Structure formats: C-alpha cells, structure tokens
C-alpha cells in the first residue's frame, strides 16, 4: 500500500533528523533563547507551502509567546498560485518584507525554503545577515545543492544563514514512487519541517529554563480558563520588555 510506504519512509526521514540534525537544532535554539531572554522576538518566514510552518510556530498551544510570522498574502498561495510562484522569485521583495516587518538586530529569524533557491527567501537571509540578525535556515540540502540559484549572484539559502538545519527530504520533495508510473507522490517537507520547528521550541524552552529564565508559553485556546492565562502571558511579556509596545501596537 502506498500509504504504508509513505509512513515507513517519513518515519525513516524523521529518525534521520534525530540522528544528524540535533546539534544544529540545539545551536539554533541557543542563539534564539539568548535573544528571547533579552526581549527579542522570533520571526518565521516561508514562502509557497513553507508558509504553513510560519503559522505552525505562532500562537500555538504549548508554543512561545515571543513569535511573529511573516505572512505576506502575495506568497501564501491563498488566491493566485501562479502569481505566488512568480512573486517568490521577485528580485528585491525579500529585503522589502524583512524591513517592512521591522525585524531588529536583537531578534532571530527562521527562513524555511525546501529548495533554498528562490529570490525572496535568499534575499531575506542576505538582508538579515547584513543587518546582524541571527538567522536559521531550514532547507533540503540535497535538493538545494543539486539545482542552480535563481539569483544573479548564485547564492542559496544555506550559504547565508548562521545555522542551517537540513530536513533530509528527497529530491523534488515527493517521497513515494508510484509503481509503473513516472512520478512520485506524498511530499515530505511539511511534516519534516514541522518536526524541526517543534524540536526547536523544545530546545529553546529547555535552554531558557536552564538559564534561569521562565519562558512565556501559550495554553490551548480550547481549554477552560486559557484565554485569561494567555492574556496574562502576553501582558507579562510587555511588562518584562516595555520596548515591545513600540514595535507592535497589538501582540
């Protein structure tokens, strides 16, 4: 059965992350934790289907309060998929997005791109590097190294980030070859990316606690009493770091 084949193959890839990427995940988490402890925020960006991982980390039950997704509607595939694909390759948009979201040098930035070759994620990483922002790339190294960059300077995401986490997916993302057909199905990057995101959260929280800092964590909005607890957590953040009120009018 193809579904069983996918299950086996995705578990194998998940185990590979555990066996090969934990040092990079812990390194990224340490850098992020240092910034959160000082009032920084964790921004997350992914274009195309990768944008769902920016949503995954933000405002989630058991997640960090100090997160902000970068979710420009042009790149979320909500309306015009062809337009979104073209926009992902648009020269200069990555720099515009980073600056329009007012990401500061005290913040951290996760950029997710399976191929790591398109203009927006690459130029966002390049701009972040020039601004001194701690940057983590989540990408498919095998895929990225097998294709050319779509930028004139030839740069790819993995060449620009402070820490690079490899999702270990297959070339082309689809994981299961269909017998007697010339195509594969069932992409891997969303599940593997979500796993990496949650592993990062676990390591960030553990690091902050070991540093004597209590991380601010959200409860499920569907548990009784959670709305008040989450409101207090957001207020605690503003009390700890009053400067955040100037960064966002709502949080």
CATH number assigned to the domain comprising residue 127: 3.40.50.10490
6-31: per-residue pLDDT in tens? Answer: 999 999 999 999 999 999 999 999 99
Beta carbons of 156 and 117 less than 8 angstroms apart:
yes
Residue 15 lies in a domain: no
Residue 39 lies in a domain: yes
What pLDDT is attached to residue 94?
81
Residue 221 lies in a domain: no
What is the Cα–Cα distance from 163 to 135, expressed in whole angstroms?
A: 7
Global confidence as pTM? 0.93
By residue range, what is the domain housing residue 108? 21-216
CB atoms within 10 A of CB 102: 13
Residue 11 lies in a domain: no
Share of the chain above pLDDT 90, in %: 79
What is the Cα–Cα distance from 88 to 151, expressed in whole angstroms?
A: 12
Beta carbons of 198 and 18 less than 8 angstroms apart:
no
Residue 70 lies in a domain: yes
Residue 3 lies in a domain: no
* Dihedral class, residue 100 (left if φ above 0, else alpha if ψ from -120 to 50, else beta): alpha
E strands of the chain, at which residues? 42-46, 67-70, 108-112, 134-139, 163-166, 174-177, 184-187
What letter would DSSP give residue 5?
H
189-212: per-residue pLDDT in tens? Answer: 999 999 999 999 999 999 999 999
Residue 152 lies in a domain: yes
* Half-sphere exposure of residue 185: CA atoms within 13 angstroms, side-chain side: 10
Is residue 172 helix, strand or coil?
coil
Residue 110's contacts (CB-CB under 8 Å, 6 or more residues apart) are: 28, 42, 43, 44, 45, 57, 135, 136, 137, 138, 197, 200
Residue 2 lies in a domain: no
64-123: per-residue pLDDT in tens? Answer: 999 999 988 777 666 656 655 666 666 767 888 898 999 999 999 999 999 999 999 999
CB atoms within 10 A of CB 105: 11
Angle at 54 between CA 211 and CA 165, to 5 degrees: 65
What is the Cα–Cα distance from 135 to 126, expressed in whole angstroms?
A: 10
Domain count, the chain: 1
Angle at 59 between CA 115 and CA 45, to 5 degrees: 20
48-71: per-residue pLDDT in tens? Answer: 888 899 999 999 999 999 999 998
Q: For the chain, state the CA radius of gyration.
A: 18
What pLDDT is attached to residue 251?
47
CB atoms within 10 A of CB 240: 14
């Amino acid at each position: 059965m193809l579904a069983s084949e996918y299950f086996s193959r995705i578990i194998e890839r998940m185990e590979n992350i555990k066996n090969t990427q934990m040092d990079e995940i812990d390194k990224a988490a340490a850098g992020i934790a240092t910034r959160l402890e000082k009032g920084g925020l964790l921004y997350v960006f992914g274009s195309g289907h990768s944008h769902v991982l920016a949503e995954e980390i933000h405002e989630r039950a058991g997640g960090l309060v100090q997160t902000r997704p970068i979710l420009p509607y042009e790149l979320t595939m909500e309306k015009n998929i062809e337009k979104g694909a073209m926009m992902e390759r648009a020269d200069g948009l990555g720099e515009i997005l980073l600056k329009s979201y007012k990401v500061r040098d005290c913040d951290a930035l996760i950029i997710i791109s399976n191929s790591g070759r398109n203009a927006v994620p690459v130029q966002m990483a390049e701009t972040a590097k020039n601004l001194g922002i701690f940057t983590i790339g989540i990408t498919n190294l095998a895929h990225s190294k097998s294709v050319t960059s779509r930028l004139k300077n030839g740069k790819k995401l993995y060449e620009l980030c402070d820490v690079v986490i490899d999702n270990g997916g297959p070339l082309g993302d689809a994981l299961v070859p269909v017998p007697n057909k010339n195509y594969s199905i069932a992409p891997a990057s969303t599940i593997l990316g979500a796993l990496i995101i949650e592993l990062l959260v676990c390591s960030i929280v553990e690091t902050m606690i070991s540093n004597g800092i209590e991380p601010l964590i959200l409860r499920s909005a569907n548990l009784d009493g959670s709305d008040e607890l989450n409101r207090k957590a957001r207020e605690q953040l503003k009390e700890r770091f009053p400067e955040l009120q100037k960064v966002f009018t709502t949080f």
